[in-house]
Amino acid sequence: MEYDALTGWDDDTTAEAYAAFTRAYPMYSASSRDLAARAGLTRSRVIVDLCGGTGTTAEAILALAPPDATVISLDSSTAMQSIGRRLLSDPRLTWVNAPAEDLAAHVPARSVDAVVCNSAVWKTDVAAVAAAVRRVLRPGGRFVFNIGGAFAGVTHPDTLPMPSMPSLSVLIERITARDYGIVPAAAAVPPKLPLPVITRLLTDAGLDVVATEVTGQRTTTAERAAWLSIPVFAHPEGSLTYEQKMAILAEAAAQSNPDDVTVTSWLVIVAERPEQS
């Protein structure tokens, strides 16, 4: 079976694997708490969890939102939201099944104090999303989101000792080449959403970038292996089946030290709708 990293989210296997990962490992919950803290939610009345998936970010928002606030978790995946409804019950939380680009069709204009989006902007039409966010935000409202380092072209300055063994990515490449004759392309792929591009898209939509930061998150090899077992993230990309990719991952993990730590980089952006707009 094959899964596409853009369209495979509305799949029960992917949704269950993702939900299991978020419960077992801190990556998404930690980044969700960071974004929610940057959104300034203490006086917010309406907050949107954009591309909210199974509700990990909504949970972080609810922990900081006032008791009378409304949180709207919007996502296009029925499978992801089905799990979220099962795992997260709060009278302040409303689920909306729709693409991020259609946000303004489901939320009244100038009604939202903050929009938070964790790890998902890269797979949207960013220009359309920025325009929709600007439309629903109140003047002074915030749009807080992050982009993975590879997509943003950033690296956190923290350095760590070299791992005791080759990384999972290197081992996966070696095993794939040995068993299937598939060698990764040598040419480097330019980052899809570097800060100048993001800034231009937000500015064109009528939003001001007020803060940016490159953050780093420590990730063990065991956590990365679990992340790579989620169907939409399984490597190598391409024509191999999920079962073949999992066999490669299992062999690579067996040759790795599960406690080795690397730093995962993220570009965090805070934008606002100007007060006079």
pLDDT at 188 over 70: no
One-letter amino acid for residue 68 of the chain: D
Confidence bin at 51 (pLDDT 50/70/90):
very high
Query: Which pLDDT belongs to residue 190?
Result: 87
Q: For the residues 230-259, what does the mean pLDDT come to?
A: 94
pLDDT (0 to 100) of residue 162: 63
**Confidence band for 7, pLDDT divided at 50, 70 and 90:** low
CB of 214 closer than 8 Å to CB of 155: yes
Mean pLDDT highest for which of 94-98, 153-157, 182-186?
A: 94-98
In a domain, 62, yes or no: yes
Instruction: Classify residue 232: in a domain, yes or no.
Output: no
Asked whether residue 1 is domain-assigned, the answer is no
A 10 A CB-CB count for 73 gives: 30
Q: What are the beta bridge partners of residue 195?
A: none
Residue 175 covered by a domain: no
Question: Does residue 187 have a pLDDT over 90?
Answer: no
Q: How high does pLDDT run on average in the chain? A: 93
Confirm whether 226 is domain-assigned: no
Query: CA-CA distance, 73 to 50, in Å (whole number)?
Result: 6
What is residue 163's predicted lDDT score, i.e. its pLDDT?
Answer: 66
- Specify the pTM: 0.94
pLDDT score recorded for residue 1: 43
Examine residue 225 and state whether it is found in any structural domain, yes or no: no
- Residue at token pair 């001001």: 208
pLDDT of residue 189: 76
Q: How far apart are CA 236 and CA 42, in angstroms?
A: 43
Residue 195 lies in a domain: yes
CATH number of residue 131's parent domain: 3.40.50.150
Q: What is the DSSP code (8-state) at residue 220?
A: E
pLDDT at residue 104 above 90? yes
- Count how many domains the chain has: 1
List, for residues 76-91, the tens digit of each pLDDT value. Answer: 999 999 999 999 999 9
| Domain-located, residue 227 | no
Say what the pLDDT of residue 36 is.
98
Count each helix (H run) and each strand (E run) in the chain, helices first: 11, 7
